[in-house]
Amino acid sequence: MKKENIRNFCIIAHIDHGKSTLADRILEKTGAISKRELKNQMLDSMDIERERGITIKLNAVQLTYHYHDEEYYLHLIDTPGHVDFSYEVSRSLAACEGALLVVDAAQGVEAQTLANLYLALDNNLTVIPVVNKIDLPSADLPKVTEELENIGFSKEEIIYTSAKTGEGINELLEAIINKIPAPVGDHHKPLKALIFDSVFDAYRGVIISIRVMDGEVKVGDIIKMMETGATYDVVGLSIDTPKEKAVTSLKAGEVGYLSASIKSISDVEVGDTITLEKNPASEALPGYKPMKPMVYCGLYPIESSKFEDLREALEKLKLNDSSLTFEPETSKALGFGFRCGFLGLLHMEIIEERIEREFGIDLIATSPSVVYEVVLTDGSKVMVDSPTKMPKREVVSKTLEPYVKTSIFTPSDYIGPIMELCQDKRGTFINMEYLDQTRVTIHYNMPLSEIVYDFFDKLKSYTKGYASFDYELIGYQESNLVKMDILLNGEVVDALSVIVHKDFAYQRGKIVVEKLKEIIPRQMFEVPIQAAIGTHVIARTDIKALRKNVLAKCYGGDVTRKKKLLEKQKEGKKRMKKIGSVDVPQEAFLSILSTTEK
Amino acid sequence: MVKSAYIHIPFCKKICSYCDFCKVFYNTNFCKRYLLAMEKEIHDYYQNEELDTIYIGGGTPSSLSILELEKLFQILSIFRRSNHCEITIEANFDSITKEKIDLFKKYGVNRISFGLETTHDWILQKMNRCLDLDYVKEIISYCKRIGIDNINVDLMYAFPGESLEDVEEDVSFILSLDVCHISTYSLILEEHTKLYLDNVKTISEELDSNMYQRICVLLKDYVHYETSNFAKDDKYSKHNLCYWKNKEYYGFGLGASGYYGDIRYSNTRSMTHYLQDKYRYQEEKLSIYDKMEYEVILNLRTKWGISKSAFFISYGKKLEDVYSYSDLVERGYLIEKDDYVMIPYSYWYLSNEILVLLLEEFHDE
C-alpha cells in the first residue's frame, strides 16, 4: 500500500443529517459490500445503535477506489453524532487527516454542525462540506449553500449528494482523494501508533483499533504501551473491509486492528501510544484529554449476587469508553453497586441498556446527579456527586452547582416557547443572534442539572423537533441547594434522595410522591410516601393497601393454570427490589426525574 | 390411587360472553360422535379404580337431549363406584327439564350444580344468557322433592357496571332457594372472550373487594370452606376437594385435565383431533418440588389449610424445611395451629400475595 494513496477521513454531522446512510452509500460505491448485503447502516454494528439510529461506537473501514489508474485506500472512521459523545468524536478526528462535514439539505446548519466543525479545525483536518439529502422535496440548496458560506466555506468546495439515490457520491469520493492530504509520517522511524478504540473479544482478548503515525508494526513484534508500560506479542493484525481481513503489517498512515492476547483490560488505554519494545519512540503522541463525566448515577444489580458480574461488565465497557467512570458504592436500600459517571443522559441510558442486554444483568439506576460543590462552615470544599454524600445542613456554608452556556438553534417562530422553557429551568438569558431572517441562536446560562433531566425532550416537543442545541460548561455558581429525601413507609430510601434547588423543592416533592404512588404496586398494607427536607415533610401521599388478589374459579380441575399464574406473579416480584417490606419496581428509581405533572 | 373422574361435555346452546373454557355450539351430529370418542378415551385410560366422585361438567351437560344423556350415562356405567360415590352434573336453567332431572336420578346422580350467575336482566343480556326466576324456584324444589337435595348454585359478581346492591339482591334470591352449596366467583376478563374483545372496563378493586366481603357476611350461615365455596350441613363438594387436596383424578373429554402418578395432563381443545382419538394435548411430568408446590397452593385455599404430617408422609420432608414460613406467621399472614398451617380468614382474598411470599421462601437443601 503506497502511503500517497491512503486517505484517512471521518464524517461529522449533526444528529440525523444522514451520516450513517452516507457511509453506507460510500461502502456500496466502493464495492466494499453489495447492495444486497447492505443492511441499513452497516457501520452501526451494535443492536442498540441500529435500533436507536445513532452511532455510539466508532468503526474504521478500509475501502478501495480506482481513480486515474491508481488504486486508493480510503479509511473511513465513523464518529458518533450526539452531543454526549463529542469526546469520541475527538478520538476519531485524531486518527484522520480529513473530515466530511455533512449538512442536511432541508435543515441546514445546526448546533452540532458548528461544534463538530470547530473540533475538526482544532485538529487541523481538511474539511469537505457536503450537502446531503438533496432528493428531499423540502431541500433548499441556495439557503444551505449560503449558510455554509456564512461559516467560511466557498461555494465551489461544496459537494451535493443524495445518499438515498447515490447522486454525487462519485464526486465526493474524488474530492476525498483530491483534497484530503495523504498521511504524513515516516515508516522508517520508530513505531508510534495511536490507540483510538478497543473492544473485548471473548476469544482474542482486547482488540485495539490503531492508527499508525510513524514506523511499522508486524505480527510477532513485541509492542509496548507507552503510558501503561505493558508489553505484548502481536498475535494478529487486520483491517476491516468491512469483513475482517488479516494482514501481516501496518505501516505509517494505515488504520487497522491489533490483537495481542491481552486479557488485562487495564493495560489498554484509549489515547495511549503503542511503540516497539526494541527501538521505542522517544515520546508519545499527544493523545487527547479525556472528557470528564458530567452526570453520575448509581447502578445496582437487582440480584445482589450479580455485583461482580456488574463490575466485569463495567470494566469491559470502559475499554472502549474511557469517559465512563465507576467506583463501588453501597446503599442501604439497594445494597452493593457502583457510582458511575457519564458524559450525559443519553450516554447513561446506553450504558444501562448495554449492561442489561449484552451482559444480562437487570439493573436499578438511581436518579442522575451532577457534581455539586459544597463549601463547609470551616471553609473547606467538598465535591458531591451523589445526594447521599451531601453534608449535613448545619455544616454547609454555601452550595454551588455547575452551569453551562447553551446555544439553541431554532426557527424564530419558537423563540417564545423556548425562552419560557429556559426560564422554567432557571436559565439566565445572555443574548440572541440571527443567522438569517428566520433562524436564530439563543444563548442562555443554565444549571447543568436542569439539562440533565428532561430539557432536551422538552425542547424537541416545544419546537416540533426543529430546535437543536449544544452546551459547554462555564463553571460553578452559587445556588441554594437542598437534599430532598423520600420516605417509604417512614424510612428514608437513600437511593431516592435528590439534590434540588430550594425554591423548586415543594413542587418536585409533590410530583415525585404522586409518581411513586402510580409506579409502586399496592402492597398488603398501606404505604405512606413522603418527601422531606431534613425532618420537614414537604409532600405526602399514601399507597392504599391491596384489596383483592386471589385465584378464582378452577374450571374442570385445570389447576396447572393457577400455578402458572402464580409463577408469573413471582417473576414480576423478582424484578422488584425489596426496600424494608415494600416491593419497589425498577422504574421507581428514575421517577424522581419527572419534573412535570401528568 | 385415582378416586375421582371429571367428564367434560363441551356443548352449549348459547355461548356466554365471559367464558373462555372449552366449548362448542351444540350439534346433534357432533354430539353423537363426541360421545363415542369419549367412550373410547375412557376405555383406553381408565384402570378400573373404584371412584368416590364423578363430576360431569361443561360446557352445558344439560344441553344434551334425553337420548344423548342416556348414552352418556351408559358410557359412565363402566366406572366402579364406592358406596357413597358423589355424582355431580352441571345444568343450566335454559336447558334443564324435569324429565332430564328424572333421568339423572335414574342413573344415580346425587348432586346438581346450577349455573345461575346473576338475577339481573341487563347483566344476563350482556352475558348472553337467559333466566326465568320462577322456573329456577320450580326446578330447585323439584330436585329436592325427588331426593336430589345436594344442590349447588353458581353466583358470579364483579360484572362490569354491577353495583353492590345488585350483588346483594342476587345473594338474597339464592338464599331464598335454600340450597346447601353456593359457589361465588368474581368475573375474570379472559383473553379471547367476547367480553374482553368488547373492551369492557372491570370494576374497581375496592368495589370487587366490598362485594366479596358483603357476600361473606350474607352467607354467614354457610361454612366458607374454600376461597370461592360455601356449604351447609357438611355438604362440601367432595369432587372439588379432591382438587384442593391435591389428590389424583381423571379428566375425560375435550380440553379436560387430569392428574395421576407424576403426570398432570390436559386434553386437546380441538374437536377434530379429539374425534380422531388424539386426546392428549400435553403432559407435564412433575418433580417432587412441583408436587410440593401444588400441595401448598391448593391446600391453602381451604379453611383447613395444609397438614404438616400429611406433607411429611407424602414427600419425606418437613414443610418448614422446604418453605421457611415462620416469618410469615410472625407477620400474621399465616396461622400455625396444631398440625395445620393456614391463611387467616381476613387475608383469604389476598391469598395470591401470600402464596407468592411463601413460595419465595423455598429451600432446596
Among A341, A344, A367, residue whose Cα is nearest residue A590 = A367
Among A583, A438, A576, A400, residue whose Cα is nearest residue A147 = A438
Contacts of A182 (CB under 8 A, 6+ apart): A3, A4, A5, A6, A7, A97, A253
Residue A344 DSSP label: S
Cβ atoms of residues A415 and A466 within 8 Å: no
CB distance from A571 to chain B under 8 Å? no
CB distance from B356 to chain A under 8 Å? yes
Q: What distance in Å separates residue B146's CA from the closest CA in chain A? A: 27
Map out the domains of chain B with their CATH numbers. Answer: 4-244 (3.20.20.70), 305-365 (no CATH)
* pLDDT mean over A499-507: 89
Do the Cβ atoms of A563 and B57 come within 8 Å? no
Model confidence at A83: pLDDT above 70: no
B window 146-175, beta carbon within 8 A of A? none
Give me the residue from A550, A556, A566 closest to B6, CB to CB.
A556
CB distance from A556 to chain B under 8 Å? yes
pLDDT value for A306: 92
Task: State the sign of the Cα–Cα–Cα–Cα dihedral B174, B179, B180, B182.
Answer: negative
Map out the domains of chain A with their CATH numbers. Answer: 3-179 (3.40.50.300), 192-276 (2.40.30.10), 295-365 (3.30.70.870), 372-479 (3.30.70.240), 482-591 (3.30.70.2570)
Mean pLDDT (chain A, rounded): 83
Q: Whole-prediction pTM value?
A: 0.64
Give me the residue from B208, B259, B359 closest to A566, CB to CB.
B359
Do the Cβ atoms of B360 and A524 come within 8 Å? no
Per-residue pLDDT in tens (0 to 9) along chain B, 365 residues: 899 999 999 999 998 888 888 888 998 999 999 999 999 999 999 999 999 999 999 899 999 999 999 999 999 999 999 999 999 999 999 999 999 999 999 999 999 999 999 999 999 999 999 999 999 999 999 999 999 999 999 999 999 999 999 999 999 999 999 999 999 988 888 888 888 888 888 888 889 999 999 999 999 999 999 989 999 999 999 999 999 999 999 999 999 999 999 999 999 999 999 999 899 888 999 999 999 999 999 999 999 999 999 999 999 999 999 999 999 999 999 999 999 999 999 999 888 889 988 988 887 65
Best mutation site among B202, B352, B361 for testing chain A: the one with the most A CBs within 10 Å?
A: B352
Span A338-348, pLDDT tens digits: 999 987 777 88
pLDDT value for A56: 36
Alpha carbons A567 and A136: distance in angstroms, whole number: 53
Percent of chain A's residues with pLDDT above 70: 88
Cβ atoms of residues A508 and A500 within 8 Å: yes
Span B273-318, pLDDT tens digits: 999 989 988 899 999 999 999 999 999 999 999 999 999 999 999 9
Which band of pLDDT confidence, cut at 50, 70 and 90, is reported for residue A47? low
Percent of chain A's residues with pLDDT above 90: 24
Which band of pLDDT confidence, cut at 50, 70 and 90, is reported for residue A593? low
B355 CB neighbours in chain A (<8 A) are 566
* pLDDT mean over A580-593: 78
Do the Cβ atoms of A552 and B266 come within 8 Å? no
CB distance from A555 to chain B under 8 Å? yes
* pLDDT mean over A179-199: 87
Contacts of B355 (CB under 8 A, 6+ apart): A566, B296, B297, B300
Alpha carbons B291 and B273: distance in angstroms, whole number: 30
Model confidence at A224: pLDDT above 70: yes
Among A128, A37, A14, residue whose Cα is nearest residue A74 = A128
Q: What distance in Å separates residue B81's CA from the closest CA in chain A? A: 20
This model of the complex carries an ipTM of: 0.80
pLDDT value for A289: 56
Span A380-407, pLDDT tens digits: 999 998 888 899 888 999 999 999 888 8
